[in-house]
A and B are shown apart, each in its own frame.
Chain A
């Protein structure tokens, strides 16, 4: 059963269940979830909810629960009232989206004079440098814990204390300084961390509070040993079995981001040019033409090793085309007797690994799959799950499991 409900974002307390006309939601790896619901104001029960105030954008959150598990939850950002149709459409995004609206600034930034954001450079008094007192400096912790500290710092501001819980700190020989003058959004920095060569995945997982009267978010981060956020269970789906719960199977392959030679440029913060280069011979050795990748989006990075991480990550990702397998699956598959058969919604989530079985193609019986005609077991990872208010079918996106 699919349930939608709204609550207060700052406290996480649940306010009321939301009967919806439509309610597509989507949870994708590395980005905030999205939820879009439309409610019917002709319904007296809906009118009684006083959504004009109880679902105020930015002040309220919208959550969707499937099979007892919250699959998406986050701030409502927009609402559209359609008077002719007497409908209200709410659009929300996961908790990560809130941190697009929070900057990497210590609390001191709220009170220090605005003329003190730069100070004379002790090494060269004719120049100025970012005020160290306003810098957010990390050392001796892992990348995942840095992301955690960024969010924790944002929560120390008045009004910033959204209900988020964290994992324990993890030590690592890492250092990083975020200068206040860059005004970098917290989630942008988290995305940068994820994009680094050994960057951990970061996710905000909505959970019920212990009293079941509200929602809290667990900020999950990968570790040095296991940068991926995943569970130990592996889901099996059989594409070619009779009565398979899978339908609308597609494979999309996009080679536009392939490349063997990756370039990264940065150093804008110090008015210098820092260039990083990474080369992987895999594709060229396999007979592909040389393709290059360039990225200047990390222009403020001035550390060579940091830029090298991005270049290495690019060239690793560029080894293969982006291949996405997508299909629809029954949320609650059953056998002929109506008993649960196969993975039920809630048994798996984005980030989990799965196995897709495809029988070898039989041209006479036309069984198996003509594209993946050799068939076999394909280890995949779930990179996206989306559903709707009906709660009958889910759309699953998979990517081939990568070998570390």
Chain B
């Protein structure tokens, strides 16, 4: 068996230097990972990553939804979904059935009208400013300054009834440059009605819908600090009549449903004249007839 001889401590700082060398060697030994260690560390990391995926998947399955599920649910909210606040959409909103207190939109379509409504019905009122549809109330309790409408039956009788086709419908059939162009086979419906401008010209403004515009309110800075360089925006709008260059309102539509009120004076006058004719005929015949 071999024997070991010590290295002498040396002079001066030599022993300390040697001690530091030993410490440095030990430190280097500890800081030097073996290849297997490296491999196993890599393996552990890889295993952890694999487990991490599984754990995340399990956690999602237990407590959350995957992105695809979330995307699907956002696209297809399940039955029973209820939103407590407002709903807004920049695109179209479609539904098989809508029951709501308020539905607001630029275009509100009922693509498949129900044909089986048999219960009580009301008269609807579409507000020009925002298209709000509601029951057209007519009770005295909602009204003030009730007075007789002085309509001239002769003027009413001058209203002409016309057949017409809507220009847009014609372009769908005849104008290939039109973005909604369909083709020559497109069927254009013939409509019947009165022309808003003719009613306006006859002074029957009560039955005309005039164009309206939204007028901006006071300009407000984009923040309350009102620093130099702030941009100013209106935050309120009000609706006003849209007047032409001559200051005249511009007809847009006709209150078809109201036009029945224009016919009443005509009918009343006809009724009075009929009664007068009946009275005179009875006097001529010496007997009173019940017409």
The chain A residues found within 8 Å of chain B, CB to CB, are 26, 28-31, 117-118, 121, 126-131, 179, 181-184, 188, 195, 197-200, 222, 227-228, 252, 254, 268-271, 296-300, 313, 316-317, 322, 324, 326, 381, 383-384, 386, 395, 397, 399, 402-404
Point out the residues of chain B lying under 8 angstroms from A184, CB to CB: 32
**Cβ contact within 8 Å between B34 and A179:** yes
| Residues in B whose Cβ lies below 8 Å from that of A269 | 34-37
Q: Is B79 on the interface with A (CB-CB < 8 A)?
A: no
Chain A residues with Cβ below 8 Å from B193 are none
Cβ contact within 8 Å between A198 and B1: yes
Q: Is A130 a contact partner of B36 (Cβ separation < 8 A)?
A: yes
Which of B5, B11, B14 is within 8 Å of A399, CB to CB? B5
**Contacts A/B (CB < 8 Å), 26 sampled:** A28-B10, A127-B39, A128-B42, A128-B43, A129-B39, A130-B36, A179-B34, A182-B32, A197-B2, A198-B1, A227-B2, A252-B9, A254-B9, A268-B30, A268-B34, A270-B36, A271-B40, A297-B26, A299-B29, A299-B30, A317-B6, A324-B6, A324-B9, A395-B11, A404-B1, A404-B2
Smallest CB gap from B27: residue in A: A297
Listed in ascending order, the chain B residues whose CB lies under 8 Å from chain A are 1-11, 14, 18, 22, 25-26, 29-30, 32-40, 42-43
Q: Which A-chain residue is minimally distant from B12 (CB atoms)?
A: A24
Contact A383 B35, beta carbon cutoff 8 Å: no
**In contact, B1 and A197 (Cβ under 8 angstroms):** yes
Q: A127-B36, A182-B32 are in contact. Are A199 and B2 (CB under 8 A)?
A: yes
In the assembled complex, the Cα of A228 lies from the Cα of B33 at a distance in Å of: 33
| B5 CB to nearest chain A CB (Å) | 5
Q: Knowing A126-B43, A128-B43, A297-B29 touch, does A182 contact B34 (C-beta < 8 A)? A: yes
Residues of chain B lying within 8 A (CB to CB) of residue A383: 5-8
Given contacts A30-B5, A182-B32, A184-B32, 8 further A-B pairs with CB under 8 A are A128-B35, A128-B36, A270-B34, A296-B26, A317-B4, A402-B3, A402-B4, A404-B3
User: In the complex the two chains form, is A300's CB within 8 Å of B3's CB?
Assistant: no
Residues of A within 8 A of B39 (CB): 118, 121, 127-129
A118 to B40 alpha-carbon distance, docked (Å):
11
Q: How far is the CA of A181 from the CA of B14 in the complex (A)?
A: 32
Q: Give CA–CA (A362, B110) in the complex, Å.
A: 132
In the complex, the answer to whether A118 meets B32 with C-beta atoms within 8 Å is no
- Bound together, the chains give a CA A118 to CA B9 distance in angstroms of 41
Please name all residues of chain A whose beta carbon is closer than 8 Å to the beta carbon of B5 when the two chains form the complex. 29-30, 228, 381, 383, 399, 402
**Known contacts A198-B1, A316-B1, A316-B4: A183-B11 contact under CB 8 Å:** no
Which residue on chain A has the smallest CB distance to residue B38?
A118
> In the assembled complex, which residues on chain B have CB atoms less than 8 Å from the CB atom of A118?
35, 38-39
